[in-house]
Chains A and B, each alone.
Chain A
Amino acid sequence: MTKARTLADNFAADINGITAGTGITGGGTSGTVTVTNSMATAIDAKGDLVVGTGADTFSRLAVASTAGYLLSVDSAESTGLKWAAPAGGGKVLQVVSATYSTGTTITTSTYTDTGLTASITPTLASSKILVMIMHNISVYRTSNPATAQLQIVRGSTSIWDGAGSGGAMFRIFATPTGGELEMTANQTFIYVDSPSSTSSLTYKTQGKLQYTGDSGQVAFQPSGRPSQIILMEIGA
């Protein structure tokens, strides 16, 4: 038996009843009396909060269904609180990276996948995606300019085209004696994208030759030298 019941037995003549106050239900005037903590029974599931809605009143606030949400103040809500996505404020919200080291030799003047790709699912539609690419690239031609070009693609949309406005990524001119030419470089490309999406986004690079013929080739990841893509979600 509990200590409370012993006290009740000893002083039965002095207790006429128990009445539930704020936050408690139950009570009675005789026999075994049960009182229940209403704030505790308001909790139905993991993560639930009991929040005041006014003087001596409260309500259940269910946990947010989206991971990463934070509790924020909102006077328009009956509880004065709500779950909301964190304000990015220029912070790095997530980082995704991928490395690809299979050589891809392209000899057409049509943009073709280099094999380097990575996917990211933005937390917020207002986020920007900082795309950083370190590409090992080699160009070769037996004579005449050897010129490779590259574009960054999100899904099937070109978001940056190195061939735009005549911007060639590589240009090597033949020597007067007509010797073959080959140049390899680890080229860096940085682009800030504003996809306005919370769906999974796939970024990739595509390359091509500006001029074909004369055994012209552009090789990405030549001899297995790896290229890397890093995607950073930046809160707006």
Chain B
Amino acid sequence: MATGAEVLRMLIPNGGYVLTGDDYEGLQFLECEPITKEQFEAGFAQYDAWKAEQDSAKAAQKADLLDRLGLTEEEAKLLLS
């Protein structure tokens, strides 16, 4: 189950808010466009899929980079260590 902070990473990636606790009632919009309570609460159900998509995209980028460099992940780690 996602936390309120995680949901807001997805919904308001540029920040500008303060969240006290984990509920919409504890949300203050200081330097961003407000979202509705419905959007916030719906975000909990959307987060896992969004996160999986983000992770998948990052993994693909990483694999692509390693492929272009002609290195395995282990070889890249050795180079960076």
Contacts and interface: CB of A to CB of B under 8 A. Distances in A.
Contacts of B58: 177-180
A108 B22 contact: no
A205 to B, nearest CB: 14
B65 A177 contact: yes
B16 interface: yes
A223 interface: yes
Chain B interface main SS type: mixed
Contact of A107 (B8, B10, B61, B62): B8
Interface residues of B, number: 24
Given A105-B5, A176-B80, A177-B65, A112 B14 contact: no
A228 interface: no
A32 B31 CA distance: 92
A101 B18 CA distance: 16
B9 A108 contact: no
A38 interface: no
Q: Interface centre among A107, A112, A213, by most B CB within 10 Å?
A: A107
Contacts of B34: none
B35 to A, nearest CB: 13
Given A103-B22, A217-B5, A108 B65 contact: no
Q: Interface centre among B12, B20, B31, by most A CB within 10 Å?
A: B20
A108 B16 contact: yes
Contacts of A112: 18, 30
A215 B30 contact: no
Given A140-B9, A217-B5, A219-B5, A107 B18 contact: yes
Contact of A213 (B13, B21, B22, B30): B13
A232 interface: no
A214 interface: yes
Interface of B: 3-5, 8-10, 12-22, 30-31, 58, 61-62, 65, 80
Interface of A: 102-108, 110, 112, 115, 140, 142, 176-180, 209, 212-217, 219, 222-223
25 contacts: A102-B21, A103-B5, A104-B20, A105-B4, A105-B5, A105-B18, A105-B19, A107-B17, A108-B15, A108-B17, A108-B18, A108-B30, A108-B31, A110-B30, A112-B18, A112-B30, A140-B5, A177-B61, A177-B62, A177-B65, A209-B15, A212-B15, A215-B10, A215-B13, A215-B15
